[in-house]
Amino acid sequence: MSELTAENAMMEITSDTYRYAGFWMRFWAYIMDLIVVASINGILLTPFKFINDGEVIEMGFWTLTGIIASIMFYLYFLLMTKKFGQTLGKMIMGIKVIREDGEKLTWNDLLFREVIGRFIHRVFSFLAVLYIVVAFTKEKQGIHDMIGNTRVVFVD
């Protein structure tokens, strides 16, 4: 019983030491990140306008440029968060992603948060509304944070 109490006390201390980033801080960071990703995709995908006489290269249901743009979107969030704990938008806003237990972010954490969580929000566009969950949870978690067991906190 004392171990359980000690764990609970440690969890309370840990959660009290962070200032969680709310909806609007995260929203503006995300908008900045979308601008960065769109800029990168603009640079990478411009040469495709000169290939195939400017015709879209289709691959079944998708286009080649659509596939590359999607890969770049997920890679940006995945690699930036793994390397720095932040994307450029989060750096500007002074926030970063951490694990709920305070340990270093792992690939599994980030695959669930950045790829699977974001994929769910983007593919099922009506679920994008669920980003608002951040505004109402105690630790300001979105669905993708809950999936990845992460939090977004202010950098002190």
Residue 50 lies in a domain: yes
Residue 3 lies in a domain: no
Residue 30 lies in a domain: yes
Enclosing domain of residue 37: 18-154
Residue 101 lies in a domain: yes
Distance CA 10, CA 110 (A): 24
Question: Is the whole-model pTM more than 0.85?
Answer: no
| CA nearest to 105, candidates 88, 86, 127 | 86
SS3 sequence of 103-145: CCCCHHHHHHHHHHHHHHHHHCHHHHHHHHHHHCCCCCCCHHH
Residue 12 lies in a domain: no
Look over the chain and give the mean of its residue pLDDT values, rounded to a whole number. Answer: 85
Residue 82 lies in a domain: yes
pLDDT above 90 coverage of the chain, percent: 50
Residue 11 lies in a domain: no
Structurally, the chain folds into a number of domains equal to 1
The continuous run of DSSP H or E covering 25 comes out as helix 23-45
Residue 9 lies in a domain: no
Q: Report pLDDT digits (tens) over 112-141.
A: 898 888 888 777 777 777 788 888 999 999
Q: Report pLDDT digits (tens) over 51-86.
A: 877 777 777 778 888 899 999 999 999 999 999 999
| Own/partner pairs, 120-123, CB within 8 angstroms, 24+ separation | 120/144, 120/147
